[in-house]
Each structure stands twice: as C-alpha cells, then as structure tokens.
Amino acid sequence: MAEELTQISLSGGRYEGVLTGAEKTEIEALHRGRIVAVARLVPHPSEAGAQAVSVDLPSDVLSDGVQVVGLRSTATGEILDRITLLAGSALSDDIRSEIALLRDELEMLKQAFRQHCSDASGD
C-alpha cells in the first residue's frame, strides 16, 4: 500500500494531517532544497494503522512571493504533500489579483447590461 498524506489543517504555522500506508518512515519539510523541519508522527487516535502528523513551519519560510514547502517521506523519498504560501507585495501581479479585477469588471458590465435592457424595454 502506498503512503498517503492527507492535510487536515494549516493554522498558526502548524500543518496537521493523517498518514496512511506507511510502516517505518519520517516526514521532512523541505523548502528550497533544504530540510527546515521534521514532522512529529504519533498513532492516530481513531484510525487504525494511521498516524497523526504535525509539522511546525519555521518563520523563515514566510517571505515575499510564493513559497512551497514539500513534505517528503524518508522511506520512499516521495513528496507526499505540498504547502503553498503566498505573501507580500510580489502578489500584485499574481493571477489571483487579475481574477479579482476581472470579476470587478464583469460586475460593472452586468450592471451596464441590465441598465441597457431596462432602458430598451421602456422604449
């Protein structure tokens, strides 16, 4: 059975998840090719054979732009999950901001179209 890591939450800099299908492994948090943390694994309280996983992310992974932290199994070397962090002024050119602008423009167009339709029906 292949190892599978499922994220439960990310809050206050702590990743929590459930690991299944793993016998003897550790999970390392990798950022820019270096290990920045090692996960704590304990038997999961309600899932037989599963392990509860928690990783405290160090503050140095928080910086401008997009940061990706990979959670890697030491047994297989496989990246089991990724944590993507977006922060700072570098995001002004990010696609999410472009989508927000497009949504605003779409709302203006919808209002103008509704106004045009109501004016045309009154003629």
Q: Identify whether residues 52 and 101 lie together within a single domain.
A: no
The rounded percent of the chain whose pLDDT value lies above 90 is 50
Shared-domain flag, residues 11 and 44? yes
pLDDT digits (tens, 9 = 90+) for 23-64: 788 999 999 999 999 999 999 988 888 999 999 999 999 988
- Same domain (yes/no): 69, 11: yes
> Do 52 and 43 meet the contact criterion of CB atoms below 8 Å apart?
yes
Tokens read off for 117 = 């339709």
Q: Which of 5, 4, 23, 24 is nearest to 15 (CA)?
A: 5
**CATH number for position 74:** 2.60.40
Q: How confident is the model at residue 91 (pLDDT cuts 50, 70, 90)?
A: low
Domain count, the chain: 2
Q: Are residues 14 and 49 in the same domain?
A: yes
Q: pTM (2 decimals)?
A: 0.72
85 touches 61 (CB < 8 A): yes
In terms of domains, do 11 and 42 share one?
yes
Range of the structural domain that residue 68 is part of: 4-87
